[in-house]
Structure 1
Amino acid sequence: MTGSPDPASLDQRLDAIARLPFRAKFHLRGRERATAELKGPATIRWHAYDLIAKRLAPTEPYKDGKQTPYRGHPVFVAQHATATCCRGCLERSHGIPKGRELTRAELVYVVNVICRWIERELAGGDGPGPARPR
């Protein structure tokens, strides 16, 4: 994994992942959306970096496959939407192998994927009501 992908390639990856029925149902709503709007992109990026470093980056994350809640923080919702919720999903959808610690470049990549998804969600205008058709 070399360098950070540009927004266009991140968007292509996110569009492909969003076509998977399980991933497509995740959207920022309610408390998680309000948190993302209130805290702003810089704080959310820091939260994402911290959460990924602790919960996903280790060689064998604690409770891997069950370590990411479905709600409670916009980063958690984004992780499920972007298939960055556990090492198995990370390997299947992003080609980052299990069984070793994430490199710094991989950690930054995962954070960029999560933050780009959140940015797109906030720009999309989905409010707390039902999801708009995509």
Structure 2
Amino acid sequence: MRDLEQLFAALAKSAFRGKFRLQAKEMQYLRAKGLPTIRQHALDFVGKRLAPAVIPNGGKQTPYRGHPVFVAQHATACCCRGCLRKWHGIGQGRALSDEEQHYIVEVLLHWLRREMHRVSDA
């Protein structure tokens, strides 16, 4: 797991990760629900889609659109176990610990907060 400052500096250098932005509908949903509710959604998605040791559709379990958390997962390389290994140093082939799951959620929320500020500053 990485320091958030270092992680976001590295993510900023990735053209692929940098292209992800919330669309108007996703931003509206985020603002309407609020970060506490979105945090619960993130915990649920991570617990069901990333945390198990074996994921039936591994590498394809995270949609690209439809929920702010999904977009954040791709923007922060928290979308599949392969990206978690490469970008965050979280190993594959085992269930994620509670600490790892909470780290991932904090990464996602950090990106979502930044995205909210980016849009409000524009």
After TM superposition, list the pairs within 5 Å mapping 1:1-134 onto structure 2.
9-125=3-119
Q: How far apart are residue 19 of structure 1 and its match? A: 1.4
Aligned identity (percent) is 51
Q: Secondary structure at the match of 1:75?
A: helix
Whether the 8 Å CA contact 1:55–1:62 is kept in 2: the answer is no
Q: How far apart are residue 28 of structure 1 and its match? A: 1.2
Residue type matched to 1:33 in 2? Answer: M
What does the per-residue CA deviation read over 1:35-72, in whole Å, with 9 as the maximum and x for residues that have no partner? 11111110000000000000000001120100000000
Structure 1 ranges of 4+ moved more than 2 A:
none
Q: TM-score, normalised on structure 2?
A: 0.93
What does the per-residue CA deviation read over 1:81-100, in whole Å, with 9 as the maximum and x for residues that have no partner? 00000000000000000000
* Structure 1: gaps of 5 or more residues: none
Q: Which has the higher helix share?
A: 2
More deviation, 43-52/16-25: 16-25
Aligned partners of 1:11, 1:26: CA distance in 2, in Å? Answer: 19
Q: How far apart are residue 10 of structure 1 and its match? A: 1.4
Q: TM-score, normalised on structure 1?
A: 0.85
Residue type matched to 1:71 in 2? Answer: R
Q: Secondary structure at the match of 1:125?
A: helix
Q: How far apart are residue 126 of structure 1 and its match? A: 6.3
